[in-house]
Amino acid sequence: MNSPAELRKLIQRRAGELGFDDCRIASAKKPRHYSEFRDWLDAGKDGEMDWISRGAEKRGDPQQVLGGVRSVIVLAMNYWQGASLGPNETGGGRIARYAWGMDYHEVLEPKLRELDRLLQAQGGKQRFYTDTGPVLERDFAADAGIGWHGKSTMLLNRELGTWFFLAEIFTTLELPPDPPQVARCGSCTRCIEACPTGAITAPHQLDARRCISYLTIELKGSIPEQFRSLIGDRIFGCDDCLEACPWNRFAKVARETAFAARPNITQTKLRDLLLLDEASFRELFRDSPIQRTKRRGFLRNVCVALGNVGTREDLHALRTAAQDREPLVAEHALWAIEQIEKRSRSLAAKTQSRFHTDRVVSPERFANGS
């Protein structure tokens, strides 16, 4: 058996071998922002994410997650793929960077099982999660020194910026904790200013009901019309508050190639995505986080994006979608058709007005013999 200090080094070394970019330890105590979390729930800012409130009590008491827990091992994995690829440059919709490639659960969970086996050999009992359990993971990550709480509510890291996944292993083993990092946002408010829908209502305050990631992923029904035009060409998630963070100038391309963009996902034109039936949707997004929305939610998002950036060339696909057997898809397709036709009429009116203006000969031009 290793001493706690030796085991800590062993865990961190093995985590690095498995591809994690950081591994640190926090004590298994009550999360420091639990009361603020309960206030957030009481205000209804979780929207329709009922699964959060169902595990609310456990999120405030690690002992309810794993009896006898003493330490929380927090791991971070970089997923940034570089700034060269912008999915919307090919005529497709914008997808949050974390969903360009393989589902991170499929990548991280086998690695967590490897670490679990190592800890079992040391006599520990464990539970591990990567946003799959009742854990206020950013509090534990901040306590462990993985990063600090940004004003966007995202965790920031000096080397990784904002582009990393978190995972936690709750263990009954006693491990020396790491010190927290100093918060380094200063007076910067770029993330707040960048939010298209004003979802970051104040520093460290997020109203999920306004967040584009919530609207395009977690919301199962109709997207409120007040937010549809603000979604732009985003069809799964939003990175605006992350992209705005100055700490991302230090970001490096991820070692894990599973997160690399899949051209058949990121480069497919929006109107072509409307052709997906259930089988082709499952095949295209196999092992992708985008499966989470299911076909109906994803095509809803595509319709909204086309309503914002589409042209008359997209109307045929949208009219077909307006007959979809899923009422959610049909509703948003009809809205998109209305938006495109409205833009077309406005453009035609402007063109006609400009044409008539150009044909008018001013007295000055006539006098000059023009």
Per-residue pLDDT of the chain (370 residues; tens, 9 = 90+): 789 999 999 999 999 999 999 999 999 999 999 999 999 999 999 999 999 999 999 999 999 999 999 999 999 999 999 875 554 555 689 999 999 999 999 999 999 999 999 999 999 999 999 999 999 999 999 999 999 999 999 999 999 999 999 999 999 999 999 999 999 999 999 999 999 999 999 999 999 999 999 999 999 999 999 999 999 999 999 999 999 999 999 999 999 999 999 888 888 999 999 999 999 999 999 999 999 999 999 999 999 999 999 999 999 999 999 999 999 999 999 999 999 999 999 887 777 766 666 555 455 544 554 4
Is there a contact between 15 and 115 (Cβ–Cβ < 8 Å)?
Answer: yes
Is there a contact between 144 and 24 (Cβ–Cβ < 8 Å)?
Answer: yes
The pLDDT assigned to 84 comes to 58
Query: Which run of H or E residues covers position 179?
Result: none
The pLDDT assigned to 83 comes to 72
Name the CATH architecture for the domain at 269-354. Answer: Alpha Horseshoe (1.25)
* CATH class held by domain 4-83+102-171: alpha beta
- Count the helices and strands in the chain (H runs, E runs): 18, 10
The pLDDT assigned to 150 comes to 98
Is there a contact between 173 and 4 (Cβ–Cβ < 8 Å)?
Answer: yes
- Residues 207 and 107: their CA atoms lie apart, in Å, by 30
Residue written as tokens 């609310």?
Answer: 56
Cα dihedral: 192, 254, 235, 87 (round 10):
110
Say what angle helices 104-121 and 4-17 make with each other, to 10 degrees.
Answer: 150
Is there a contact between 211 and 199 (Cβ–Cβ < 8 Å)?
Answer: yes
The pLDDT assigned to 370 comes to 43
Q: Is the pTM of this model over 0.75?
A: yes
Residues with a catalytic annotation lie at 131
Query: Which run of H or E residues covers position 367?
Result: helix 363-367
Is there a contact between 90 and 196 (Cβ–Cβ < 8 Å)?
Answer: no
pLDDT in tens, 344-366: 998 877 777 666 665 554 555 44
The full set of domain ranges for the chain reads: 4-83+102-171, 269-354
Residue written as tokens 């939010």?
Answer: 195
Strands 126-129 and 164-171: antiparallel
- Residues 59 and 53: their CA atoms lie apart, in Å, by 9
